[in-house]
Structure 1
Amino acid sequence: MSRLDEHGELFNDPRWALALIRATVLEAAHPQIGAALVDHSSFVTHPWRRLRNTFLSTQRMFGPDDEVRRRESARLNRLHARMNGTDAQYRSYSAMDPDARAWVVATMFESAVTMHRLSGQALEQAAMERLYSGFQAFHTALGDDAGFLPPTLHEFWPYYDRVVEEELENTEAMRIILYKLFDHLPAPPLLAGLPTLWGTGRAIAGPVIGAITVASLPESFRRRAGLPETPGAQTLMNGTYLAAGLARFLPGGWVHAQGVADLLALSPDSDDPRMRTVTALREQMKRAGALFRLITPVPAEPVPAQPAPAGGTGTRRSAEEFFEEVLDQTGDGFLDWPDLAAMAREMSTRLDLDEPEETRLYNAYADWWRELQTALDTDGDGRVSAEEYAAAAPALAGPALIRVAEVLFDVTDKDGNQRIDADEYRALFRTAFRRDTVDATGVYTRGAFMKDFLTFMSGRRRSTPYDPLLTEA
């Protein structure tokens, strides 16, 4: 068993969900990481997608297969190499900055240690040494210089305290996570049709999660960042961590992170056998939702329009709806390169692409962005606003978008036989073929695939396969 494999079960511990939120806040408080999150990440508009992809990546990196780990490390490095720019204070940033990458590993390790301490099971020195060794191996597996992470646990704590005291800031990304994300967290696909219950639960849980997270942060940073501490938050935090720790004693699989993540990602139209049970439960929850509407003041959120059958024959979106739901992947109110890069990233992740296929897909999206910018950026600010898009009411099926469709078909068609079979279709859309998708021979042809994709992207029509791919939270 490798040093990485030894700690893989940490990420299935129910307490890790709380620790991961804490680690993410500490990462976002680092100026380099915070700027990259604000400019490039879709964590605000697609948090469940981001969570699922992060969990999958962690499982690969801490799993038993060295080849899987090598491929995932290479994929992460390609992804991070594409994230760079200048922040609001005109400071350059890069997701490949070695200090920032070492800090990500440091926050994960320190939050794991804190997780055990807050739940009344503080790690002994030897166990802490082994855990640190595992995270050092993770850092090394990413290909980073070991010198950026302290070589011993004894040297780690002064390093951690120094970064907290001297480098962390009250960044925009950190404020979004603490005060916006949980208050406006969209429902996961599984619960998208239950807005009243979701809104009620979020109104209660959101502030609690935020208060617990703030209370768990280093006290010196809380003071310096001006983060308010809710009265009783420390007691609530300890009780929550303790309760999460007790969940480990439930029957095996009940709170297994992989199973929970997979279940939350199921869309209502999924062909997963578990959906039969979930559908019956949803009907009971809808009845409960009707009761909630009578006895609570929490306003119901609008129920999202249901996608129509595959093939692009669904209801048409307005330009404003299409811009908000599909094009603006980062949720900043504008269309620019990070939005299209997020599309390419999601499709590359689902298809588990290696080079050169991944770069081909990114390049196709980059060409489409340049075409959109030339056609729609009327004020020359380097991005497209919702107003600019709506005013132009463009027919987007230009040469660059057609090229995106061609490349997406090629990288989905793993065996290169110019047709997408059931397994290839499921890899991209995570569901089985629809009857109106396949031709008489039972395959999805190149022409049909491109027609459906272009109808969705340029015709702004809702589509059963493409809506989950690009619009679900």
Structure 2
Amino acid sequence: MSSVAEREVSFKRDLSEWRVALVAWRLLVLQAADPVVGAGMSEHSTYRAHPWRRIEHTLGSGRRLFYQDAETLRREVARLDRAHKRIRGTAPDGRAYDARDAATRAWVLLTLFECVVAIRRLGGDPYDAGQSEEAYAEFKGAVAAFDLPEGELPATAKDLPAYFARYAREKLEFTDAARYLMGDLLREAPRPRRLWFLGDAGWRVLRRLVARVITELTVADLPPVVRERFGMVPTRRAELLSVVLHRGAGALVRLLPDRMRYRSPAEQGPPRRYRPQRDPRGSRLDRFFREVLDQTGDGFVTVHDLRAMAHNVCWQLELDEAGEARVHEAFEGWWDQLRAAMDANGDGKVSREEFVAATAAGLDRDGTYLEQGLLPALRAVFTAADTDGSGFLEFDEYQAVFGGPRVHPAELSHGFRQLDTDGDGRITREEFLHGFTEFFTARADSTSGTQLLGRA
């Protein structure tokens, strides 16, 4: 049982508790309230279309930083460094932003520690002064790998309340990203794959309740200084909801064995539901736009969507700097082709209608259409996934880039078989590219490549 573990304090172990999910949205709001993070999310993140994936990445990265061995920690820090160096630019208000800003990085890391402190406090089992210092020392030992400038992190846990109050009053803003997280995103959020059994109609009904509960819980749980900064006042109902949920969860987890109380970083998620795929070519293009290209979920494809796709490929494969550079270069080339062929008014955006119409016309008109953009990007993905340089993708290599905690093994196996046309248990480069070409060009749905987005 977990009573043995409770006699010792471990920040790493507490971060892996299931009830941390109760403060996950609160964590995102605290991070998004930093103007640099908010600008980066607006310009580079896929959180609008994939909010649950954003939470998974945030908490999953935290577990890799604090719950694994030194080598995993080193790789995760290097991966974050490579990803963040591309997140920079100028916000709509004219302010420059860079995700490598030391103060911002310190804030984001400290929100992970603060969310663990909060979940313990809200759940009725807070750290005492000694435990807090012990947990903070463990936290600082891990984040030392980020090599932050001296003084960016508070020296002790006792200094944290003053740091949070000062940062909230001087730095935090109710950014567009934070406002969207607290408002429309929850009312528009796609159905989590683990709730496949609800169907779209059932999820639309439940989503209203989910949006209200998460919004009210987040307002009640935010630090008072942040609520004051944002002008938020929790309702009595929200405060009661917070007490009931957190105290109930706190009492429950203390009764659970460790295997049920803590989540392993490598743990896989539940299956996705299959849905029959019987789309003609135009519908396939439409689906490709919605489910693959439009990473930010705003109804348009921009350079940021392609960069987000490249980032996710690199993230899944844990590529080195040279490998990441090749993938990003290929996806930049794909965007150049999309923009040249489809962005008629030069506004840097391609709508769904423009993409479907221009792609269909381009395929009918010119056999080299795919060769100019998509296929070079796919070649880069294949080369990156072929980690042993054999010229083939074995199933484990395919799984590394197309799998994930929310993809059921049966669905993954189905996609692999669609590409492995000769059935020899491995995918050649030619089979890989041919399958995706069929997805775009085949006029009959019986062709194997037309099911590359799954039967779901």
- TM-score normalised by the shorter chain: which range applies? 0.7 to 0.9
Match of 1:247 among 252, 264, 267: 252
Question: Aligned partners of 2:184, 2:342: CA distance in 1, in Å?
Answer: 30
Aligned to 1:443: 426
My pick for the range that moved more, 55-64 or 432-441, is 432-441
Structure-2 change in CA distance of 1:318 and 1:404 (3 Å): closer
Shift of 1:331: 1.2
Given residue 204 of structure 1, which amino acid in structure 2 is its aligned partner? L
Given residue 442 of structure 1, which amino acid in structure 2 is its aligned partner? G
Aligned to 1:317: 283
After TM superposition, list the pairs within 5 Å mapping 1:262-273 onto structure 2. Answer: 262-264=268-270, 266-268=271-273
Match of 2:413 among 432, 439, 443: 432
What is the TM-score normalised by the length of structure 2?
Answer: 0.85
Tell me the SS of whatever aligns to 1:99: helix
Structure-2 change in CA distance of 1:80 and 1:385 (3 Å): same
Count of aligned residue pairs for this structure pair:
425
Structure-2 change in CA distance of 1:383 and 1:77 (3 Å): same
1:370 and 2:336 equivalent?
yes
Given residue 356 of structure 1, which amino acid in structure 2 is its aligned partner? A
1:348 and 2:314 equivalent?
yes
Shift of 1:85: 1.4
Question: Aligned partners of 2:17, 2:56: CA distance in 1, in Å?
Answer: 16
Shift of 1:160: 1.3
Contact 1:12–1:258, Cα closer than 8 Å, also in 2: yes
Shift of 1:105: 1.6
Q: Which runs of 5+ in 2 are unaligned?
A: 1-8, 364-368, 404-411
Aligned to 1:135: 139
Question: Aligned partners of 2:245, 2:141: CA distance in 1, in Å?
Answer: 30
Contact 1:351–1:427, Cα closer than 8 Å, also in 2: yes
After TM superposition, list the pairs within 5 Å mapping 1:36-185 onto structure 2. Answer: 36-185=40-189
Structure-2 change in CA distance of 1:17 and 1:463 (3 Å): farther
Q: For each residue in 1:180-216, what CA deviation from the matched residue of structure 2 results, as whole angstroms up to 9, or x when unmatched? A: 2322221222333522443343322321111011111
My pick for the range that moved more, 366-375 or 188-197, is 188-197
Match of 1:257 among 251, 259, 263: 263
Aligned to 1:359: 325
Shift of 1:162: 0.7
Contact 1:247–1:255, Cα closer than 8 Å, also in 2: no
Contact 1:405–1:450, Cα closer than 8 Å, also in 2: yes
Q: For each residue in 1:206-253, what CA deviation from the matched residue of structure 2 results, as whole angstroms up to 9, or x when unmatched? A: 211110111112334323423353332112112111112123123443
Given residue 236 of structure 2, which amino acid in structure 1 is its aligned partner? P
Contact 1:334–1:384, Cα closer than 8 Å, also in 2: yes
Give the alignment's Cα RMSD to 1 decimal: 2.8
Identity across matched positions, percent: 35
Tell me the SS of whatever aligns to 1:223: helix
Given residue 65 of structure 1, which amino acid in structure 2 is its aligned partner? D
Structure-2 change in CA distance of 1:323 and 1:437 (3 Å): closer
Contact 1:106–1:160, Cα closer than 8 Å, also in 2: no
Question: Aligned partners of 1:440, 1:324: CA distance in 2, in Å?
Answer: 30
Contact 1:34–1:174, Cα closer than 8 Å, also in 2: yes
Aligned to 2:211: 206
Contact 2:435–2:452, Cα closer than 8 Å, also in 1: no
Contact 2:303–2:348, Cα closer than 8 Å, also in 1: no
Shift of 1:12: 2.4
Match of 2:391 among 387, 394, 418: 418
Tell me the SS of whatever aligns to 1:426: helix
